Chains A and B, each alone.
Chain A
């Protein structure tokens, strides 16, 4: 699959750079699932996936002429995705601040099936806390912990040294534990 993606990317990249619809469609089909998964894992919000996937590809097609091919296409797309997700989190924070300004109106409780309650609650709490982290810490933690990338893979995707990824991940974990009020247990 990876080799097929690479072959598709190399073969159609020049045509996509010229705005060829078929070439752009091929690139889209080859990478849309990866982008969708990344968006989902970065935001925790399935309802924004379609819009953000579209935004990522529109930005990529618009800037494709500037893709210097000195990095993998997947890495380049990942960075565009991360930047679009930053906009999403910025908008989320502004929306929450606006709602606080007009007074907090309690949301009616959502009833979830009992067997799913814990997983859903865990995810919602985690992403609510992730949204409060600075972008760089959130991105490092998401890449390492949620997307399960290695240090080397995360370093390449984020464009920072391995030591920086490690440092930011640890910092993010410490802040998340504070925000989530997790007991300061002895870690493994």
Chain B
């Protein structure tokens, strides 16, 4: 006797939600008023053209960088066949070319990770956010792989990653995962493993494979931390610099001292308005004030960010945060609300 197993065929009358309490929540979601779309066609077209131009710049720069890396690879063996006294200078000269070109290859604007597009869509390669700068600190024939707007895979080499994005930058090296939280970090990679890291600003978080935090490090103070930090490490400023104030705010926050964190960030933003740490500090200040219920001050902080850095990719997030607070009834003078 044969057993015929019917194919699973759900009834077309099958309700979408069966649990009555869940259905009540779903009905609340369905009844949410539909938003007015403020985007207009002209702005959209301009943004699309800008994205196209930036994409071409990145692709062109990557081609140039790859060509330069190939030239370096060929030039070094060639120079070694000449007289001993000219060997090292020729080699140094060759190596000196690559970092400059590699720097140009770090420009990236489009935040559309095209690998996220549907299968039916012809996808462009993902492009790094414009608020993240990646540099090769020594020549490398392989470029970092961009996996998303805030997501990179690093090959062998010595890399500098500087991010002013509010969203952490995800870094993959072999099986290891790192996260750069609003900072500047140098990472040395060899044989698909991280062999050294230097945190120049912000924080570097080491993650386990399931995303849990394994270790966290702040700015390094060692003198051999790399070219960008050597000068900073030997300086003893009379008053805390922007990086020190940012670190101070992080420590207050980690200890639950919200009020003191707000004070440190206010000092940073007002005393060092042009510093690299200022944009991120202003976003963090707005968030802390928001969470503390100090809505007027939060509006002023967000407004100041949008006034100073409207072009950064985090401007969208800041705009949303300010809109979520509503209009308010005060004007702002810098960070200070005035009635």
CB distance from A13 to the nearest CB of B (A): 14
A65 within 8 A of B: yes
- Alpha-carbon distance between A93 and B142 when the two chains are bound, in angstroms: 31
A47 touches B320 (CB 8 A): yes
**Which residue of B is nearest A85, CB measured?**
B116
Across-interface contacts of B83 in A (CB, < 8 A):
none
Q: Which stretch in B7-15, B131-139, B152-160 binds the other chain?
A: B7-15
Across-interface contacts of B122 in A (CB, < 8 A):
63, 65-67
Across-interface contacts of B3 in A (CB, < 8 A):
none
For chain A residues 135-188, which have a beta carbon within 8 Å of chain B? Answer: 141, 144-146, 148, 150-152, 159, 162-163, 166, 169, 173, 176-177, 180, 182-183, 185, 187-188
Name A70's contact: one of B32, B41, B120 (CB within 8 Å).
B120
B168 touches A76 (CB 8 A): no
Using A83-B118, A173-B22 as known contacts, say yes or no to A51 and B316 having CB atoms under 8 A apart: yes
B256 touches A63 (CB 8 A): no
A53 touches B167 (CB 8 A): no
Across-interface contacts of A162 in B (CB, < 8 A):
9-10
B39 touches A146 (CB 8 A): no
Using A32-B39, A163-B8 as known contacts, say yes or no to A185 and B19 having CB atoms under 8 A apart: yes
Query: How many residues from B make CB contacts under 8 Å with A?
Result: 74
Q: Which stretch in B46-54, B267-275, B330-338 binds the other chain?
A: B46-54
- Alpha-carbon distance between A94 and B253 when the two chains are bound, in angstroms: 18
A66 touches B19 (CB 8 A): no
A6 within 8 A of B: no
Using a CB–CB cutoff of 8 Å, the interface residues on chain B facing chain A are: 7-10, 12, 14-22, 24-26, 28-32, 34-35, 37-39, 41-45, 47-48, 51-52, 55, 112-114, 116-124, 148-149, 167-168, 181, 205, 211, 213, 216, 250, 253-256, 258, 288, 291-293, 316, 319-321, 323-324
Q: A98-B181, A182-B21 are in contact. List 19 more A-B contacts (CB 8 A).
A: A29-B41, A40-B32, A47-B321, A51-B319, A53-B39, A58-B51, A62-B48, A62-B55, A63-B117, A101-B205, A102-B254, A107-B291, A118-B28, A120-B28, A122-B29, A141-B16, A146-B26, A182-B19, A187-B18
What are 19 A-to-B residue pairs whose CB atoms are below 8 Å? Answer: A36-B34, A50-B35, A53-B37, A63-B121, A68-B120, A71-B120, A79-B121, A80-B121, A91-B167, A102-B253, A122-B29, A123-B25, A126-B25, A145-B16, A177-B22, A180-B22, A183-B21, A185-B19, A188-B20
